[in-house]
Amino acid sequence: MKSNFQEPRTRTLLKAVEDYLGSTSDSFQTFCTHVVEDYVSNVSPQNIEFSQNPDAYKRIELDAQKIRRMMDDRFPAELEESFVAALPDQYRLPLLSKLAARYDLIATPMPHGKANHTTDFARLLEKVGTTVQAMAPILADGKVCANDLPHIDAAQDELTELLAAAYGWLEQLESVKKVRAVG
């Protein structure tokens, strides 16, 4: 459920980036390189100019400095999607779930190209397993109460991802029914 007070959307995004950079060996410069590549490839018109320096090392350094300044000052909304795209799946999907939840929606990946039903179903079953693991400490004493607060955020994240995976399957099954009804 959506609460009345939320941290700013940008803060949610930047926390996900901080979590990613703090838990991996990837550098801020590498992340920024991915942000710039996505932005240049997918945003038009572009209101942000990134470095055109012919020296790749200097260009990466200048772009990272510019992005750091934007993160510390005024984060431009047009960079949000590039920031999200630059995150690996294990950080991107929970972030998208949090951003969608702000509108009482569930984020679920769209199927791309030919569906791999075995992989998709395995993902659903994996989510069932991780959700059970996240819920186990909450249900260990047979009740949900204030003592469970340290585990609730993780359980909510897992349940949201499970719902998204299940919803993805509902969409796939519904699309088969629609094709059959038309054909």
- Is 93 part of any domain? no
Q: Which residue has the tokens 């994996």?
A: 126
Same domain, 81 and 122: no
Rounded-to-integer distance, Cα 142 and Cα 149, Å: 15
* 39 vs 161 pLDDT, higher one: 39
The answer to whether position 97 is within a domain reads: no
- Whose tokens are 């951003």? That residue is 99
- Can you give the residue range of the structural domain that contains 48? 9-88
Distance linking the first and last C-alpha atoms of the chain: 40
- Together in a domain, 13 and 80: yes
DSSP track, 77-109: GGGHHHHHHHS-HHHHHHHHHHHHHTTT----P
pLDDT in tens, 82-120: 999 999 988 998 899 889 988 988 887 766 555 667 777
Residue 15 tokens, joined: 């926390």
User: Do 57 and 128 belong together in one domain?
Assistant: no
- The verdict on residue 110 lying in a domain is no
The closest alpha carbon to 160, from 102, 116, 119, belongs to 102
pLDDT digits (tens, 9 = 90+) for 6-64: 899 999 999 999 999 999 999 999 999 999 999 999 998 899 999 999 999 999 999 99
Domain boundary among the residues 37, 70, 88 is at 88
CB 87 within 8 A of CB 17: yes
Which one-letter amino acid corresponds to residue 162?
A: L
Position 80 in a domain: yes
User: Shortest CA distance to 42 belongs to which of 98, 92, 80?
Assistant: 80
Report yes or no on 101 lying in a domain: no
- Assess if residue 132 is contained within a domain: yes
Structural domains of the chain, count: 2
d(CA 47, CA 54): 21
Lowest mean pLDDT across 67-71, 86-90, 163-167? 163-167
Shared domain for 53 and 124, answered yes or no, is: no
Query: Is 99 part of any domain?
Result: no
Contacts (Cβ under 8 Å, ≥6 apart) of 117: 172
